[in-house]
Amino acid sequence: MTTATLQTTSTDAATTSFTVTFLIRRFDPEVDAEPRWQDFDVEMYATDRVLDALHKIKWEQDGSLTFRRSCAHGICGSDAMRINGRNRLACKTLIKDLDITKPIYVEAIKGLPLEKDLVVDMEPFFASYREVQPFLQASSAPSAGKERVQSVAERARFDDTTKCILCAACTSSCPVFWTDGQYFGPAAIVNAHRFIFDSRDEEAKVRLDILNDKEGVWRCRTTFNCTDACPRGIEVTKAIAEVKQAILRGTP
């Protein structure tokens, strides 16, 4: 065991463990009036992830620690949290990429009601998502016996926004959303974008009208926190700008 910084070779990373201190913001609504910070020391390898630390704490130190995770591989979007003040997925955040000479702060994402420890109520987030009608709507029949044809260029038009995993890292890092929970938020706009610019869809105008609301795209102040936070590398702010332009044009 060592508490040195992580100047390791790949062999060291696999064989040398470190004591890492985690400060986790805990909240039990049945006991606590306010959230409180609790520290845990955990033996970690450089190649471990923050999610591994949470598992070790839960399994070996405090079984009451509450957090969401499912896939553990950056696909399901369930373990977005604030790590050292930045929204990230715990399953994609490696210990070697953090400064372990200081405690690592872990807390729930902001702007959504805190339920317990690292778990927030995602319902307001998904309510906005549902409002933008995030599904293909094409009532006209394709030519008999034919598929709905889409060119490579047409498919590429919305490729970036197909990558969303609904983790809420973007929306919960947006200062506008922190102060106005009614704002649709970047994730809903990203998922509207995915269908607005799909050449097969026939209801783009409906979605543009929905987002031309006082709580729609015009609330965005181009802060870019959402783009910085997105674990899928989606150009969120650019997608929002494209929806704004489509509203001004009146068509995708």
Which spans of this chain sit near ligand FES (rule: CB under 6 A)? 69-72, 74-79, 89, 91
The tokens for 200 are 């097969």
Chain position carrying tokens 């520290």: 39
8 binds, among ligand F3S, ligand FES, ligand SF4, none (CB under 5 to 8 A by kind): none
Q: Which of 67, 77, 127, 99 is nearest to 230 (CA)?
A: 77
According to the binding rule CB under 6 A, does residue 189 interact with ligand SF4? no
Neighbours of 7 (CB within 10 A): 8
CB under 6 A: which stretch of 18-26, 158-166, 213-221, 241-249 binds ligand SF4? 158-166
Report in angstroms how near the CB of residue 195 gets to ligand F3S at its nearest: 19
**One residue of 65, 234, 243, 247 binding ligand SF4 per CB under 6 A:** 234
According to the binding rule CB under 6 A, does residue 238 interact with ligand F3S? no
9-68 binders of ligand SF4 (CB under 6 A): none
CA distance 30 to 24: 18
According to the binding rule CB under 6 A, does residue 165 interact with ligand SF4? yes
68 vs 116, beta carbon nearer ligand FES: 68
75 binds, among ligand F3S, ligand FES, ligand SF4, none (CB under 5 to 8 A by kind): ligand FES
164 binds, among ligand F3S, ligand FES, ligand SF4, none (CB under 5 to 8 A by kind): ligand SF4
The tokens for 92 are 């994609």
70 binds, among ligand F3S, ligand SF4, ligand FES, none (CB under 5 to 8 A by kind): ligand FES
